[in-house]
Each structure stands twice: as structure tokens, then as C-alpha cells.
Amino acid sequence: MGRDGDVTVRQLGAAIGDEVGRVIVGKADQTRLITAALLAGGHVLIDDVPGVAKTLLVRAFAASLGLSFRRIQCTADLLPADVTGSTVFNQQLGDFEFRPGPLFANTVLADEVNRATPRTQSAFLEAMQERSVTVDGTTHALPEPFMVLATQNPVEQKGTFPLPEAQLDRFLVRVRMGYPTAVEEVEMLQRFRVGDPLPRVRPVEGADDLVSARERVRDVHVADDVARYIVAVAAATRETATLRLGASPRSSLALLHAAQAWAALDGRTFVTPDDVQRLVVPVLAHRLILSRETSLAQRDPQAVLDEIAAGVPVPAEAAHAAPAD
């Protein structure tokens, strides 16, 4: 899949996982999901309770890439200009100049994003979709690659502002951390007993060629029956009474791109239905809104989506491999 001398996508993903694993214990699946989102050109929402290493995972992931990294601590008094940057008067030059905000980095951590006001949250929309920000009528391109990794706490509601549907739809995947097992927690205690292991993370070989890796991911073959399967899953979410809002066409495209990246991380040049099934919940669940009746029944959104996806016929085993040249 790669050119002679290139680090393959599979090798790159494995190396990122190894480096992040120096710090984070037992979160290989979550790290792989974030890596797939990076390779697919998407953004990540990490949604879980406090104290499960959401922020630390992002910092370790960014360190493994060796790219520019900025952190935005979202609070109620954060202004859009604090995120995008602003135009100021330079007395030495006698003219106005643009001073970039923290969005101008390859990897941006929006910590506790739901603590920012809706006005400030909207400052992320253009950046996440168009890879640019517009200030005082002038559009400024963001660096490439560009990725937003946002964290939020789903439990504490005081002082938070729920993310609107338009913003949630711009996150390629939502990642849930979960609690570690007892064995993993003991290992974590031992690892952090003598200090923070984060400084030991080193940029992986090939991380400087991420743009090329993304191009190779887009070359991963998606057979017609797999593409129809993706569309059928998305359509099923729009036709069920259990949901008030189903998956958008952008969701279908997100699922396709995520599946391409997932296949490439496995070292394959083609997507299988299994790739799609693995990614249905991380890619689609946060984009859906339960119906009133489903919410009152306190049904788990993930279980609802699993039930919907289970009702969609899976393509029969066939040659999903890329056609021969």
C-alpha cells in the first residue's frame, strides 16, 4: 500500500499505539479510534466521566505525532477571539495585523468543550469543517494536518452548555474511555508512582508524512455492496420511530472514511462489512437524537443503535478486495 521506503499506515498506527501505551494503560482500542479519525481527516469527541485520563490520552497522542499542539481550556468566559485569534493594531508598523489564536496548531485540545458558551462553541464550526477561520472578513487557512480533540463530562450539568447537533455532526467519532480493569489500575499506579511518564513519549517514525498517509487511506477500496450497506444503516436510523433525528448524509461519508482508515490500520487495501459494523456506534451514536418515548423509557442510545444496525442485512461474503490492476 505504501511506496518503497515509506512507513505503511499499519506500521504508523502500531507505532502511535506503542508510544501512547507508554503513558495510558489498557486503552489500545480508544487510541486506534483516534488514529483512524486522524487518518480519515476527522475530529474526535472524548466523552466520559472525570478522572479516566481523557486529557492525558490526548496529550500522549499529540506527543507521539511530534506536531504542533495547543490546549484550549473551555470556560464560560472564553470568547470566540480567544479561540480563533484577533486583529490588533501594531504600533511599530502603524497598521493592523492578525494574531492567530490557539486553533492554529496541528492538534488542538478543546478541554471540557461543553463549558464554553454556544457563541464560543460556534467558533469551532468553520475550523472543523473548512480548515479555516474568518476574522474581520479575512479568511485564514489552518495548518495541515489539523485535528480537534474535544473532551466533555457527561455527568456534571451545572455550568455546561450542551453541544448543538451541528457541532456534534462535525466530530467523526466519539470515544468512550471507560474504567480500567483492576489489573490495569494497579499497573497505572506502578507506572505513575515515580513520576509522569508523558515525557518519555517520542514522535514516531513516519509521523511527519501524515498528509501522504491520509492520501493512501483514501485509496482503500470500498466495494459497491459495502457502500450500499453503509447507506442502508444510515437510512435505517432515519426510518425508525425510536429516533427523532437520524444519521445525516455527512454521517454516511464519515462512516465510509472511518472504515477506510480502519482497514488501512489492519494493513488491508479494501473495506469489509466488519469494519463498518465495528465503527457504527463510534461514528453514528453521538449524531442521533432519541424520540421522546425512547428517552422516557430511559433506553441506552448505543443499544438503540445496535438494535437498528442489527436489522440491516449484511452483504454476503464476497470478494471485497480491491480489483486487480
pLDDT in tens, 192-212: 998 889 999 999 987 778 888
Instruction: Give the number of domains in the chain.
Output: 2
Residues 69 and 165 in one domain: yes
Residues 60 and 144 in one domain: yes
Classify residue 280: in a domain, yes or no.
yes
Quick: pLDDT tens for 271-280: 999 999 999 9
Classify residue 199: in a domain, yes or no.
no
Quick: pLDDT tens for 40-78: 999 999 998 888 999 999 999 999 999 899 999 999 999
Residues 263 and 143 in one domain: no
Grid coordinates of 249: 448524509
Four-point Cα dihedral 99, 104, 105, 110, nearest 10: 110
The model carries a pTM of 0.90
d(CA 123, CA 80): 6
Grid coordinates of 36: 483512524
Residues 88 and 142 in one domain: yes
The confidence score (pLDDT) of residue 5 equals 44
Quick: pLDDT tens for 146-193: 999 999 987 666 778 888 888 899 999 999 999 999 999 999 999 999
The confidence score (pLDDT) of residue 85 equals 93
Helix and strand element counts for the chain (H, E) = 14, 11
Nearest to 72 by CA among 103, 114, 98, 117: 103
Classify residue 315: in a domain, yes or no.
no
Classify residue 17: in a domain, yes or no.
yes
| Residue 298 domain boundaries | 220-310
Nearest to 165 by CA among 219, 122, 101: 122
Q: Are 279 and 266 in contact (CB under 8 A)?
A: no
Classify residue 118: in a domain, yes or no.
yes
Q: Are 294 and 242 in contact (CB under 8 A)?
A: yes
d(CA 10, CA 268): 9
Residues 164 and 105 in one domain: yes
